[in-house]
Copies of this chain bind each other. A is one copy, B any other.
Amino acid sequence: VTAQRVAVFRAVLQDLSHPTADAVHRAILADLGSMSLATVYRTLEFLAGGGLLRRVSTPESVSRFDANLAPHQHLVCRGCGRMRDWDEAALHRVRLPRRSFAGFRPEMLDIRIVGLCEGCARGAGPPLTRTTGR
């Protein structure tokens, strides 16, 4: 339990937009002055492995991190990539089908609500490109 680990954990706790490793790094630099990006990556990996953080998947090619361990969904802005927590009652009611799907063993549902955040909607974000599902 080092100062760096505390700093990374706090940075994720404080950034509700689900920061990327780089965003965490920048926040720490602005706040404490210095820290290696490699250490940020290692620490995020360490905290996620220890169950203190979650690595969440994004439609982009970067990992984002979430300190909210409770079951919930995410609002993902396709403009800026930021994510906010959201807890939609209707989605809680969805259950994983009891048994396996033709040999596939389901373990969890991964649900995102993709759209535009307020800021990006104003400036009209880029056109919808990466899609899945409905």
Interface positions of A (Cβ within 8 A of B):
48-49, 54-59, 61, 63, 66, 71-78, 84, 86, 88, 90-92, 94-97, 101, 103-118, 121, 128-134
| B133 in contact with A73 (CB, 8 Å) | yes
Does A108 contact B104, Cβ atoms closer than 8 Å? no
Question: How many monomers of this protein are in the complex?
Answer: 2
A48 to B105, CA, bound (A): 30
Contact status B101-A90, CB under 8 Å: no
Given contacts A78-B107, A95-B90, A110-B112, contact A56 B117 (CB under 8 A): no
Q: A57-B57, A58-B57, A113-B96 are in contact. Are A121 and B105 (CB under 8 A)?
A: yes
CB distance from A57 to the nearest CB of B (A): 4
Does the CB pair B84–A104 fall under 8 Å? yes
